[in-house]
A and B are shown apart, each in its own frame.
Chain A
């Protein structure tokens, strides 16, 4: 092959093996060509092993063809120092460019043919240099080791890619397996991979939150219709920090966090706020201090308050209607169900005495229902549950959890006080699992005092009939019966709640009272406008309350941390063929159990059911060859730089005539 000749009278072009720009251009073409080859292979559904096989065939063909057609020219190019400098620099720049582009996807060099192509060219260059610089007296062994090492690392890496095993299998707790289904291009293949000489058993699956129990989440992309994006972003706001809310120009500051906040807020009448009619009432029920509360006619769940003794309920509505009257009478529940929540997923089942609910690793049976739950002491002084009546006043359900080993645990669920039953059942339920008893349509109350705004009337409704009606005025008590009265003390047409939280007053009891709240300030540095609000992780009904800021630009919510893949822990045991345990480890997402070159770990998704986990297997051969290459490289570098001068001096002294 001849070098390009410059026309007469012009500046001579450097030969290719000394021309840096031409070399870089050629390397760019080399990389682009291999990217094209890989995209072609991808389109034809070649898996990783097939792609590496194709790569080897093509590149060997190219090198052999080059050596056959222009051996001298090709050899001179590969052994030239400028080409070495170009290759090494180009590889560094290419790696950096690959790492900087591509968003958040992991940098997967071993699946990139362009990377193997560059490395192959460099390895062949280094082998040619090693060949050219023969012979190798003792002081030059280091040079040989360094220039052979790249080929060993390359061969080890290619072997690993070619023979790589990736598989997956869904296991239940207690299940032992000796094979996995192979994954090809991320999809399950029918081909199975048999574990060589050992088996794997899933001992336990648990979710252990690795961060704070409650986190701040932000919705920052309003859709213009009152909604926001589907998935919020988590915001970490360290004390004193002012992180920017992503996707907006707003800044956030966390002013205060209380793990056990007590609501000390109040309602005020704000004429500028939207219409929100409220009635403040005072209950005279024979206590030293009368009870005061607010009722809201247009807020679901807040238009009614029950007297603490259950003797009557107070209702506030905009209008009176016969439809309202039909609702104000005792009634049995229209439906009863069990709700099981596990890792953010909720399962529903009918709550029927005698019924059972099966899961892969346990069983729930409904033993008994208590419509009006109470506890008494039996003859031996032990607490005993019973039902005071058949009226659904205080509905509870008794269940039994059956474990695979035969043991059982009692589970008690309250429809009215789910928080109480959550605390009661925590030691008996599997970790990460929450069980609730829900009744719909039940009404236990038979007496109601109804205030209506439109006609300013108060009515006494008993057993579904209006027994008394009179106009109401502020300060005038409405007597329910002797000793029981309701007095309206204030009406608010534009009621607005001004929240305020204080720490639980008794520090010794604070630990048992958990209501995490956070005070945040959001401000716009451009306009210097700011808003402060409290975020309640356990609102009045036990669920987190989201707040809007800056005319609905962002929505913030402080809530229990959503379970993440990193929280999943699976305990795996390796057994020999006789079933004896060889190795046990608690694995998580990036911390596998490694046995005979096989790595086992849970996949990146949360399990759909309790007691079940998808386990991935990865195995790569050829590391020993790469390791040999790495060691050659290290020994070679140290030899070249530090041992060579010593050996060379000795060789020179040995040659000097004595």
Chain B
């Protein structure tokens, strides 16, 4: 029982890393999409964002289950969960851009690059910028 919460948290952390990695690839695809014509890189950009969205969702859910098992409170938020949720919501907003006629295509790709900025802030700012736990 005592190892279960830590296992869930570790699995969550691994998936978090996977999600961040997927977003990184999506940013690269986005940059390539802006430099090229055609929709191939745009499609890849969207695919990698979707994968990152799923992995990040799994990570946040596993950490919530881990917190429930470990401390009896799934809402025991830490800094990692807060920044992860912010990134995940940003990702959700970017995915919806593709369903808005005025914002799909290149504009949605720019949106994903903004997401990239948020990712950098999460990766490097989380340890530096003081946030409440």
- The reply to whether the CB of B61 lies closer than 8 angstroms to some CB of chain A is yes
Task: Report how far A109 CA is from B64 CA in the complex, Å.
Answer: 14
Closest to B98 in A: A81
Task: Report how far A592 CA is from B69 CA in the complex, Å.
Answer: 10
Check if A107 sits within 8 Å of B72, measured CB to CB.
no
Per-position contact with B for A614-629: 1 when CB-CB < 8 Å, else 0?
Answer: 0000111001001100
- The reply to whether the CB of A33 lies closer than 8 angstroms to some CB of chain B is no
Task: Report how far A110 CA is from B85 CA in the complex, Å.
Answer: 15
Which of B26-34, B36-44, B74-82 lies at the interface? Answer: B74-82
**A304 smallest CB distance to B (angstroms):** 53
Check if B57 sits within 8 Å of A591, measured CB to CB.
no
Check if B129 sits within 8 Å of A95, measured CB to CB.
no
Per-position contact with A for B41-81: 1 when CB-CB < 8 Å, else 0?
Answer: 00000000011011001100100110011111111010100
Check if A157 sits within 8 Å of B75, measured CB to CB.
yes
A585 CB contacts on chain B under 8 angstroms? 2
A102 CB contacts on chain B under 8 angstroms? 132
Task: Report how far A633 CA is from B65 CA in the complex, Å.
Answer: 14
Number of residue pairs A-B, CB distance < 8 angstroms: 104
Interface of A is mostly: helix
B71 CB contacts on chain A under 8 angstroms? 590-592, 594, 599, 601
Closest to B87 in A: A92
Closest to A110 in B: B75
B106 CB contacts on chain A under 8 angstroms? none
Closest to B88 in A: A92
**A594 smallest CB distance to B (angstroms):** 5
Give the residue of B50, B75, B82, B86 whose beta carbon is less than 8 angstroms from that of A160: B75
Task: Report how far A634 CA is from B19 CA in the complex, Å.
Answer: 14
Check if B96 sits within 8 Å of A81, measured CB to CB.
yes
Task: Report how far A107 CA is from B96 CA in the complex, Å.
Answer: 28
B131 CB contacts on chain A under 8 angstroms? 99-100, 107
Residues 98-133 of B contacting A (Cβ, < 8 Å)? 99-100, 103, 129-133
Check if A599 sits within 8 Å of B72, measured CB to CB.
yes
Check if B61 sits within 8 Å of A630, measured CB to CB.
yes
With a 10 A CB-CB cut-off, give which of B2, B65, B75, B90 has the most chain A CB atoms: B75
B103 CB contacts on chain A under 8 angstroms? 85
- The reply to whether the CB of A104 lies closer than 8 angstroms to some CB of chain B is yes
Task: Report how far A618 CA is from B72 CA in the complex, Å.
Answer: 8
A597 CB contacts on chain B under 8 angstroms? 72
Task: Report how far A282 CA is from B112 CA in the complex, Å.
Answer: 83
**B117 smallest CB distance to A (angstroms):** 13
B50 CB contacts on chain A under 8 angstroms? 641
- The reply to whether the CB of A215 lies closer than 8 angstroms to some CB of chain B is no
Task: Report how far A103 CA is from B131 CA in the complex, Å.
Answer: 8
With a 10 A CB-CB cut-off, give which of A106, A157, A630 has the most chain B CB atoms: A630
Give the residue of B57, B69, B75 whose beta carbon is less than 8 angstroms from that of A633: B57
Q: Told that A81-B100, A106-B132, A107-B133 touch, could you supply 12 new A-B pairs with CB distance under 8 A?
A: A85-B96, A88-B89, A92-B85, A92-B90, A100-B131, A109-B75, A109-B77, A594-B69, A594-B70, A619-B72, A620-B73, A626-B64
Which 4 pairs across A and B sit closest by C-beta, in order of nearness?
A: A599-B72, A92-B89, A107-B132, A99-B131
Q: List 5 A-B contacts (CB under 8 A).
A: A89-B93, A95-B82, A104-B132, A594-B70, A594-B71
Residues of B within 8 A of A (CB): 1-2, 50-51, 53-54, 57-58, 61, 64-65, 68-75, 77, 79, 82-83, 85-86, 89-90, 92-93, 96-97, 99-100, 103, 129-133
